Amino acid sequence: KNQVEQSPQSLIILEGKNCTLQCNYTVSPFSNLRWYKQDTGRGPVSLTIMTFSENTKSNGRYTATLDADTKQSSLHITASQLSDSASYICVVRGDAGNNRKLIWGLGTSLAVNP
């Protein structure tokens, strides 16, 4: 069972609409949680990094939330644009020993249609 699970697996929305992507994780202890955007055939680009004590962080039209108690995070995209079409990946970093590496989710594939 993957320690970082994302939903939905894929999503199609119309340009201008909002959407929310979910991430549940079981990684413990926990250091930080990251959201990356990966365009097809490109490397991931960091959107947000949140530590244990942060509940929300924004980066332009992207707003990430984190509930460390329930081990859930969400990424909200406002007023979507065609260029938002990409895979959005939730990544959690553990905080002890061999668990210090990044644990990658499988991503949510978002398609924004005109």
Partner 1 sequence: GAVVSQHPSWVICKSGTSVKIECRSLDFQATTMFWYRQFPKQSLMLMATSNEGSKATYEQGVEKDKFLINHASLTLSTLTVTSAHPEDSSFYICSARAYGSSNQPQHFGDGTRLSIL
Residues that bind partner 1 (CB under 8 A): 31-32, 34, 41-46, 49, 51, 89, 93, 100-102, 104-107
- C-alpha radius of gyration, the chain, whole number: 14
Q: Smaller CB distance to partner 1: residue 2 or 18?
A: 2
Closest distance between partner 1 and the C-beta of residue 46, in Å?
4
Closest distance between partner 1 and the C-beta of residue 60, in Å?
16
Closest distance between partner 1 and the C-beta of residue 9, in Å?
10
Q: Are 5 and 15 in contact (CB under 8 A)?
A: no
Tell me the β-bridge partners of 87. 38, 109
Select from 112, 105, 114, 106 the least CA-distant residue to 18: 112
Q: Smaller CB distance to partner 1: residue 27 or 107?
A: 107
Q: How far apart are CA 61 and CA 53, in angstroms?
A: 22
Q: Smaller CB distance to partner 1: residue 10 or 18?
A: 10
Task: Give the 3-state secondary structure of residue 53.
Answer: coil
Q: Smaller CB distance to partner 1: residue 69 or 101?
A: 101
